[in-house]
Amino acid sequence: MAVDVMKELMRLDKYLTEMGQGTRSQIKEMARKGRITVNSVTEKKSDRKISPSSDVVAVDGRIVAYAEYEYYMLHKPEGVVSATEDRRHRTVLDLITGRMRDDLFPVGRLDIDTEGLLLITNDGDLAHRLLSPKKHVDKVYYAKIEGMLPEDAKERMAAGLTLSDGTETLPADLEIVRRGGGCGELFEIRLTIHEGKFHQVKRMFETLGCHVVYLKRLSMGTLTLDETLKPGEYRPLTREELELLNKTDQEQE
Ligand code: URA
């Protein structure tokens, strides 16, 4: 059960560290130099206790507000990695420029060339419940497929597949949105899976002799990609989206 941090007292250095203002030793030094105020009074002791809900903390005169949890819906574009840091590529966190906390992470992974819905938060409990293999949270993908989709593709997906390395997948629901095939035309499909194995969608289609050339996640549990978000854009979850997400994830135990 999460503790209501807003009602608790917490150390000033912890507050400022969580809000991305520096390491504990940097905060200590900033306090020593008189750069931190609490309720407009200079505070030189970085280990003093404050109330996140009623005390006003500022660094160099700039108020640093406190958020215990943040939740963002990102329309992940291709070319960025679903990681918190990476030496070669931009990460999904680099796109969340308006965030307050420095402990955000993506809930699950999309491949570098996959687009679509990604939840970004620092709520580890929610992430754990959404990703737990026991919960079978639905994920819906839209894909463009190269090659001839077998006539019985829907039935084979529904029965569960054995991937090339012997991994068994759970039954999945395949909907053919547009039938391709002739003259290099692509199939367009929607696939609902109930798990999240490595490269799962791409590997499922490889098993059927086809190749995914475009992949986009449309939803995860009750959370659906807001189509007004362009690739690379994000917004905070609405209260309703968050409530629903918390509810379904408990019901799916
Ligand atoms: N399945 C894949 O193959 N790739 C993704 O990014 C997500 C699901």
What pLDDT is stored for residue 198 in this prediction? Answer: 93
Cβ pair 119, 72 in contact under 8 A: yes
Residue range 115-157, pLDDT digits in tens = 999 999 999 999 999 998 888 999 999 999 998 899 999 999 9
87 falls in which pLDDT band (50, 70, 90)? Answer: very high
Distance 215 CA to ligand 1 centre (A): 7
Average pLDDT score, the chain: 93
8 falls in which pLDDT band (50, 70, 90)? Answer: confident
Q: Which residues line ligand 1 (CB under 6 A)?
A: 110-111, 114, 199-202, 215
Percent pLDDT > 70 in the chain is: 94
Q: Residue 50: which of 33, 31, 32 has the closest Cα?
A: 31
Whole-prediction pTM: 0.87
What pLDDT is stored for residue 185 in this prediction? Answer: 79
Minimal-distance CA residue to ligand 1 atom 4: 199
Pocket test for ligand 1, best of 107, 109, 110, 197 (most atoms within 8 A of CB): 110
What pLDDT is stored for residue 253 in this prediction? Answer: 47
What pLDDT is stored for residue 1 in this prediction? Answer: 47
- Partners of residue 75 on adjacent β-strands: 117
Distance 180 CA to ligand 1 centre (A): 21
Pocket test for ligand 1, best of 113, 137, 200, 211 (most atoms within 8 A of CB): 200
What pLDDT is stored for residue 250 in this prediction? Answer: 58
Catalytic (active site) residue 111: yes
Whether the per-residue pLDDT at 7 is higher than 80: the answer is: no
Report d(CA 69, CA 63) in Å as an integer.
18
Whether the per-residue pLDDT at 48 is higher than 60: the answer is: yes
5 falls in which pLDDT band (50, 70, 90)? Answer: low
The residue type found at 54 is S
Q: Which residues contact 125 (CB under 8 A, 6 or more apart)?
A: 2
